[in-house]
Chain A
Amino acid sequence: MTDRDFRQAFDDHKDAVFGFALRMTGSAPAAEDIAQDCFLELLRHPDWFHSRRVSLRAFLLGVARNLAFRMWRREHRLDPLDEDGEGYTPDLAAGDAVELVAAAVQSLPPLQREAIVLFEYEGFTLEEIARVADADVGTVKSRLHRARERLRRILAPLRSGAEGTDDRR
């Protein structure tokens, strides 16, 4: 990969990689660490990208998700990546709607969070998510379904806000 190619890749995808990592980790310093390591991985191993028939963005987000999961495992060694925890009742008086949406996404198990972030915020198709997540389409569909069910439950009180009546409860 030439200097120019690398610069172009960085300029084109830095916001997507950082945004994805931020939504996955909920921490700006952690997202910056992940984004940095992600681009350095591309520089060290450009052959990894060329050997996979995916877009550069999908490749970079795939590296970023692996780094995010590695970080998550360090902090939650005993917690499974894809298990639904017990439900909870959100307290909508606690913060503004944006903060609660962020908190709701953060509360998803990591694999469900990955599916919802790639689908809703990155605009990936199910097939693209399956390639990034190294899973089959059916599994991704199931994760997305469970993530949506949980988010619907948590964010239900914001529904009228989504229609533009009130942004804060």
Chain B
Amino acid sequence: MTDDELSAILKRWKVAPAPPSLETRVFSRRPQAARRSLGWAAGAVAATVAIGLGVWIMHDRRPPDAPAPKPSQPHPADVNKEANKDARNPASRPPVLSVPGRARDSGVPPLKIDAKAADGKLLESPPAVYPEAARAAGIQGTVKLQVVIGKDGRVVEAMVISGNQLLAPAAIEAVNRRLYRSTLLNGQPVELVTEVEVNFRLQ
């Protein structure tokens, strides 16, 4: 096969233009990036002033005999809010794929749990089907997803965080077939959000 023939074959692979969301992502973060470009010196001065002001206010407001304030325990809802901060920012995440026929309990942010804890709740985990195109091309790897587990223990949303695009659909399909034990909080079932890794290894 000549170089020209190979080029002609390679040129069949055309990619889509940049998605409109890229513009939103770049320009919504632009002021933040520009502020960073002011440099460390300006940042350090601002931080010093802010810390000094904070210390002065705390010192001024605390009664003379009052014990030093303990580090406050964050409210679970706040921890959850913080953990999901990035996930809730539409500018920072790729599209979420909802599972047809299953719906999120919108309005209540899901409780974030780590992958190990989620694995402990796993009841059924059918293996992922290796995509034939990926197998044929010798592609293997890990697809990392963020999944929302519904109150009934079934996956209601899956979002690819990283991984090869030929493997990602099979990973999503596999996690959508998973079943987890329902989680109760104060006697009520709650939704969970966690990260899942699906490994594809060629024998």
Contacts and interface: CB of A to CB of B under 8 A. Distances in A.
Interface of A: 6, 10, 14-15, 17-19, 22-23, 26-30, 32, 35-36, 39-40, 43-45, 71, 75, 85, 88, 90-95, 97-107, 116, 120-121, 148, 151-152, 154-156, 158-159, 161-163
Nearest to A44: B37
A27 B13 CA distance: 14
A91 B139 contact: no
B21 interface: yes
B135 interface: yes
A26 B165 contact: yes
Interface stretch (B103-111, B155-163, B185-193): B155-163
B145 to A, nearest CB: 11
A103 B162 contact: no
A129 B170 CA distance: 35
A90 B136 contact: yes
B19 interface: yes
11 contacts: A14-B22, A18-B15, A22-B15, A23-B13, A32-B25, A35-B26, A40-B30, A43-B37, A106-B137, A106-B166, A156-B1
A97 B94 CA distance: 27
B132 A91 contact: yes
Contacts of A23: 13, 15
B133 A99 contact: yes
Interface stretch (B3-11, B42-50, B51-59): B3-11
Nearest to B159: A29
Interface string B150-193: 00000000001111111010000000000000000000000000
Contact of A35 (B9, B22, B29, B168): B22
B117 interface: no
B163 A19 contact: no
Nearest to A40: B33
B18 interface: yes
B6 A155 contact: yes
A36 B161 contact: no
Contact of A90 (B21, B26, B33, B137): B137
B68 to A, nearest CB: 39
B102 interface: no
A91 B134 CA distance: 10
B18 A18 contact: yes
B97 to A, nearest CB: 11
B114 interface: no
A152 B1 contact: yes
Given A15-B18, A27-B164, A107 B135 contact: no
Contacts of B1: 152, 155-156, 159
Interface in B113-148: 132-139, 141-142
Contact of A162 (B5, B36, B166): B5
A75 B141 contact: yes
Contacts of B23: 10, 14
Contacts of A32: 18-19, 21-22, 25, 94
A125 B166 CA distance: 30
Residue among B13, B22, B37, B164 with max Cβ neighbours from chain A (10 Å): B13
Given A23-B15, A71-B162, A103-B137, A148 B94 contact: no
B12 interface: yes
A17 B26 CA distance: 13
A68 to B, nearest CB: 12
A25 B136 CA distance: 18
